[in-house]
Amino acid sequence: MSEKIIEVKDLVKKFGNFVANDHLTFDVNRGEIFGFLGANGAGKTTAIKILTGLSKPTSGDVQVAGVNVSKYPERVKKKIGYMNQSFSLYDDMTVRENFRFYGGIYGLSKAEIKERTKHFLTKLNMEAYGNRMLKSIPLGWKQKLAFSVANIHNPGVIFLDEPTGGVDPITRRQFWELIYEAADRGTTVFVTTHYMDEAEYCERVCILSEGKIKALDTPVKLKQDFNTTNMNDVFLKLARNVE
């Protein structure tokens, strides 16, 4: 049995009477690419906010990278990376300045920041764009940059909340190459998505509906269980059961 990096037991999050996360229980293994799927409003973003220490759970036990997140939300923040659907780097700063800022915030040394920036720019083939303002860079590239910035401190786990929203298919594929590379280096990737083809890229997926986990397994196993050939049908069958 491989080592667990995320352990969630009976996670409940309520907003007034509305139950956004209804007794979620799941584990994620170190180095795994874990997909978190669900329709809009299924509770994906709520759960990811709790896992990253942005939001407090109503009840339940959440351990990320060995830290009890609800008790010590600040401790877990050193060990994780995060990128969300709304693009969140600074538009009025250059690519390099964004790397420098986040590198500095994560406590990297000057030399480390320089080295990491160079590494990512080379990998993304963007050496020529280092001194360009972020606002002048196309969205797909920005998303890849945001992913790299979220990785600048080599976190053990990286949380991606719909990272490929609004991005063209080629860039999406390149983006997933980046995810695979990170996973190869041992980084755990926790990713939420709407795109069912992306679900196929995950090692295991968890399908959420109305705040509850409806299915959790490898894509291959899920397709067998639901007797379909693709994840899209799995998702539709689950969604139909709900209605």
Partner 1 sequence: MRRIRYILQKEFLQIFRDKALLPIIIIIPIIQLVVLSYTATYEIKNIRLVVVDQDHTPDSRALTREFTGSPFYKLEGSLPNYAQAFHLMQKGTADQILVIEPHFEKNLETTKKASVQLITNAINGSAAGVMQGYGVSIINGFHNNIQIEQHPGQAKGLPIQTDTSYWYNPELNYFTFMVPGILVLLVSLIGLFLSSMNIVKEKELGTITQLNVTPINKFEFIAGKLIPFWVIAMADLTVGLLVARFWFDIHIAGNPVLLLFVTSVYMVLILSFGLFISTMAQTMQQAMFISWFFLVIFILMSGLFTPIESMPAWAQEFNRINPLAYFIKINRMIMLKGSVFSDIRNEFFILAGYAIAMLGFSTLRYRKTS
The window from 23-31, 59-67, 92-100, 183-191 that contacts partner 1 (CB under 8 A) reads 92-100
What does the per-residue mask of binding to partner 1 show for 33-52, with x meaning CB under 8 A? -------------------x
The window from 103-111, 124-132, 181-189, 222-230 that contacts partner 1 (CB under 8 A) reads 103-111
Q: Which residues contact 99 (CB under 8 A, 6 or more apart)?
A: 113, 116, 117, 120, 148, 149, 152
Among 41, 66, 105, 138, binds partner 1 (CB under 8 A): 105
- DSSP H helices, the chain, are 44-51, 73-77, 95-105, 110-123, 139-150, 169-184, 196-201, 219-225, 231-242
What does the per-residue mask of binding to partner 1 show for 135-164, with x meaning CB under 8 A? ------------------------x-----
Please tell me the distance from the alpha carbon of residue 11 to that of residue 31, in angstroms, as a whole number.
23
Amino acid identity at 178: L
Q: Does 107 bind partner 1 (CB under 8 A)?
A: yes
The window from 69-77, 191-199, 217-225, 233-241 that contacts partner 1 (CB under 8 A) reads 69-77
How does DSSP classify residue 211?
Answer: T
Q: How many residues does the chain have?
A: 243
Exposed, middle or buried: residue 206 (CB in 10 Å: 0-12, 13-18, 19+)? buried
Q: Does 78 bind partner 1 (CB under 8 A)?
A: yes
Which is closer to partner 1, CB of 71 or CB of 185? 71
Q: Which residues contact 126 (CB under 8 A, 6 or more apart)?
A: 95, 141, 145
Please tell me the count of residues contacting partner 1 according to CB under 8 A: 30
* Interacting residues toward partner 1 by CB under 8 A: 52-56, 73-74, 77-78, 80, 82-84, 86-93, 97, 100-102, 104-107, 159
